[in-house]
């Protein structure tokens, strides 16, 4: 991560924390790759995975349980953030040359592509599938003294394998899949294969089939054998 991006990320999260909203959020998406450094400190992790993204995805698992109200666009406006809206979906982005913020909420039931208005934060958030996997096991890390919530690496990786097939952008889909597989191999290096199997077994049959199919396409027999081990 470049210095300017690091400093901006730190300042944004610091303000969220000081205003009592960060503990109601889970940081998801590619930035988790950076935050997993401590978790994988006993394997050669950072030398093999490099973070190259301007997008930070923030999941709000249950907006109704927000304990604080904060006008997020106003809170970080002086940092150079500008509000924009996706022309197709209408969901909000907070744009900055170094770091783009997008807010997400669970997409439950039949699903919806309509952004959810979160008045308490003066934002809207895009509904995303399979977030229950990310919420099942949240670990806590510190980013230069700031406590953050992120999904367990196994949950992160399996969810990536599920959503990659839904992406219209094939390049991003391939990136998601590669990242997920790399993370799972680091988990294996940590000798936590049981965790991979445990999370997999909690999924529905359709979700299991999608994951296995994507792993088969990449000839990932080692991971598949773990999923079906006894």
H helix or E strand, kind and range, residue 66: none
As averages over each run of 10 residues, the pLDDT of the chain (230 residues) reads 83 96 93 90 74 84 85 97 92 94 84 85 92 94 94 97 84 89 96 97 96 96 93
Read off the pTM: 0.92
Question: Angle between the 170-189 and 153-163 helix axes, to the nearest 10 degrees?
Answer: 150
CA distance 18 to 44: 34
DSSP 210: H
At 155-188, the pLDDT tens digits run 999 999 999 887 777 888 898 899 999 999 999 9
């Amino acid at each position: 991560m470049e210095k300017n991006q690091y400093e901006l990320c730190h300042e944004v999260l610091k303000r969220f924390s000081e205003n009592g909203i960060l503990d109601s959020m889970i940081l998801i998406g590619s930035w988790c790759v950076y935050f997993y450094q401590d978790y994988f400190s006993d394997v050669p992790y950072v030398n093999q995975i490099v973070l190259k993204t301007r997008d930070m995805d923030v999941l709000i698992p249950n907006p109704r349980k927000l304990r604080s109200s904060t006008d997020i666009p106003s809170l970080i406006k002086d940092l150079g953030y500008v509000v924009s809206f996706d022309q197709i979906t209408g969901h909000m982005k907070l744009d900055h040359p170094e770091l783009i913020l997008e807010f997400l909420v669970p997409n439950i039931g039949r699903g919806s592509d309509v952004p959810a208005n979160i008045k308490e934060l003066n934002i809207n958030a895009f509904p995303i599938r399979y977030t229950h996997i990310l919420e099942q096991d949240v670990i806590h890390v510190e980013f230069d003294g700031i406590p953050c919530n992120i999904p367990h690496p196994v949950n992160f990786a399996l969810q990536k394998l599920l959503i990659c097939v839904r992406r219209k952008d094939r390049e991003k889909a391939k990136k998601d899949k590669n990242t997920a597989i790399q993370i799972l191999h680091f988990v294996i290096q940590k000798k936590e294969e049981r965790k991979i199997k445990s999370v997999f077994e909690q999924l529905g049959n359709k979700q299991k089939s999608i994951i296995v199919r994507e792993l088969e396409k990449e000839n990932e027999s080692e991971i598949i054998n773990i999923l079906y081990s006894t």
